[in-house]
Chain A
């Protein structure tokens, strides 16, 4: 007891005499206050937070203000995320992983869905949306929004891979747009030989990144093959169809139809080359349309689109992309969140963001909307491509599986391994990934 007294006395004396002790206590007090201030304060209206990719923030601001005017008890707290979508995904992932996610809503790319759902971060939406409502969306987008039979997001924009071709060049050569892979190779070669100004037949994406996995999904399905069957976890990458698919891509390089540089191409490299006017075919997403047809473009007015080519007895496949809204399972305000989702996926918002940002809506009716058709005359063509969507495997470990495939595709495309070796290795690693 005496010692304690003695100690407190000593401390008191110290406080008086030592500058250091006083400064330290000041710092400690300061730190404590700061901690208290920062502790989240609960405010009156319900606040829904979500991350939004930086480029879209300005276009959404007025729409959000409109929503808040109509729903005075809800405030939408849009947080500017980085531009790159993989960084947005990582930011969402670590937020959820920490357990106390600050976000109530998630604006999701189609390939994140299985991971987020499997980790239990999303609330199933089946009870909240009627079949009739779902029927107004494009069926592919809804299918891509399910994981193991449950609906986890409502789409608000779609995206699909397709074949761009030069109408003028094909016409000069007296050719029809190709239907099969063999048609495409033949047509490309014919035009290349007939026309000296045409250096390349076909450009596509071959860099080691997600876009190449998406592109390969189309070719693979066009040959009747599959990547991973989500129901059985069966891996189809070392089957003959897959090897044929990769061989088709390699043959475009070997036959001089595609530049060897496609092994480093993403969408923009392919688009620039095609837009410069010396290429017959291109695989790309719808965003390229507007750029190809802008005033100073050399190929303006001479471009059309069609579904991707396929093997003789198979059908076309366009890899499905697109974004949609999900509700975090940790949110305190699921009802308000659902209201916000209904707003973001409404025809009104989809039309506005399509008009300002050029995104493809996920509501079927908007493809007949006169304002949109006036601005985007290619919408009917895209709708046709959207009839045969190809989904990347809806498995929880998609990101990992995709990274495996990307590595081996890149190795084969850049000529470091043969297509058989590459796909066998990819299949083996994918199996060992999913084997557990």
Chain B
């Protein structure tokens, strides 16, 4: 009887999971495996899109492709800048939202709003905010007397990068503050009491209690954000299209151009593979720290 139930349970189990596994295989596994395979072929307009085996040719070309390295550099800058800014800001907001004050519910609602809105439309809003003639950023800076003529934010490579970083920080900080807020709420209050009795300043108790106990959430937020920022597409595509002069072109935008504009499928596949491997590497490093922080956190309590 027990065996029969177990067997039935197992059958049901597979029956329940197989649709999900099939969909995941179709949309995640197939494209990645396919990219690995295609990356060894030349499939582009030079050969009428008929695959021709090319060995490691695409990878060799990538090594010499100045634009690829430039986009990788841009991606790194964007990722590091946004994730670290978001972490600091998200922590601050989470600390505020963890306080009790009148209207906290509404403020919490407002604080997740940016995360929920469509990135492409938000990118339009930020393009308008950074407009060189009528943009509100220039207007405020002019009113404050910090500049004397409007700055062409999206027209200069460095300023454009700063602009897209600001827009992304605005858009995704709420995600981090939600995760961190959940972590804060799980920290027992008596830990702070003990600290206060020992005469610790707020900063000390933040360093000694909050931060260590929050480490797992911080690393998880970091992990998610690293992966997302590394693959950033919609925000930059709408705000600058990668310009000016490739100043904000990230790897994602380069992959998209290579495939959809140049129809260079083999090379595009190689770019996908390398991006995938880089991402795996970043995630592996972050996971390593996640595990360590989890151990440390469980040791601390």
Nearest chain B CB to A393 CB, angstrom units? 13
Instruction: Tell me if A208 and B244 are in contact (CB < 8 A).
Output: yes
B61 at the interface (CB under 8 A from A): yes
Instruction: Tell me if A436 and B263 are in contact (CB < 8 A).
Output: no
Instruction: Tell me if B260 and A93 are in contact (CB < 8 A).
Output: yes
Query: Assuming A404-B67, A436-B47, is B263 touching A97 (CB within 8 A)?
Result: yes
Interface size class of B (residues with CB under 8 A): 20 to 34
Q: Which of A39-47, A59-67, A115-123 contacts the other chain?
A: A115-123
Instruction: Tell me if B57 and A436 are in contact (CB < 8 A).
Output: yes
Residues facing B in A211-228 (CB within 8 A) are none
A94 at the interface (CB under 8 A from B): yes
Q: Which of B38-46, B102-110, B127-135, B173-181 contacts the other chain?
A: B38-46
Contacts of A2 in B (CB 8 A): none
Query: Assuming A207-B244, A207-B245, is B262 touching A400 (CB within 8 A)?
Result: yes
Instruction: Tell me if A399 and B262 are in contact (CB < 8 A).
Output: yes
Instruction: Tell me if B264 and A397 are in contact (CB < 8 A).
Output: yes
Instruction: Tell me if B66 and A429 are in contact (CB < 8 A).
Output: yes
Q: Which of B24-32, B48-56, B211-219, B292-300 contacts the other chain?
A: B48-56
Nearest chain A CB to B278 CB, angstrom units? 22
Q: What are the interface flags for A18-51 relative to B under an 8 Å C-beta threshold, 1 for contact and 0 otherwise? A: 0000000000000000000000000000000000
Instruction: Tell me if A397 and B45 are in contact (CB < 8 A).
Output: yes
Contacts of A407 in B (CB 8 A): 66-67, 245-246
How many residues of chain A have a CB within 8 Å of chain B?
29
Q: What are the interface flags for B239-257 relative to A under an 8 Å C-beta threshold, 1 for contact and 0 otherwise? A: 0000111100000000000
User: What separation, in Å, do the CA atoms of A89 and B263 have in the docked complex?
Assistant: 13
User: What separation, in Å, do the CA atoms of A432 and B267 have in the docked complex?
Assistant: 12
Instruction: Tell me if A399 and B260 are in contact (CB < 8 A).
Output: no
A386 at the interface (CB under 8 A from B): no
Contacts of B244 in A (CB 8 A): 207-208, 264
Nearest chain B CB to A30 CB, angstrom units? 23
Instruction: Tell me if A397 and B67 are in contact (CB < 8 A).
Output: no
Residues facing A in B62-87 (CB within 8 A) are 64-67
Instruction: Tell me if B67 and A403 are in contact (CB < 8 A).
Output: yes
Instruction: Tell me if A429 and B263 are in contact (CB < 8 A).
Output: no
Residues facing B in A190-240 (CB within 8 A) are 207-209
Besides A396-B46, A397-B264, 9 other CB < 8 A contacts?
A: A90-B260, A90-B261, A93-B263, A120-B49, A207-B245, A208-B245, A400-B262, A429-B65, A436-B42
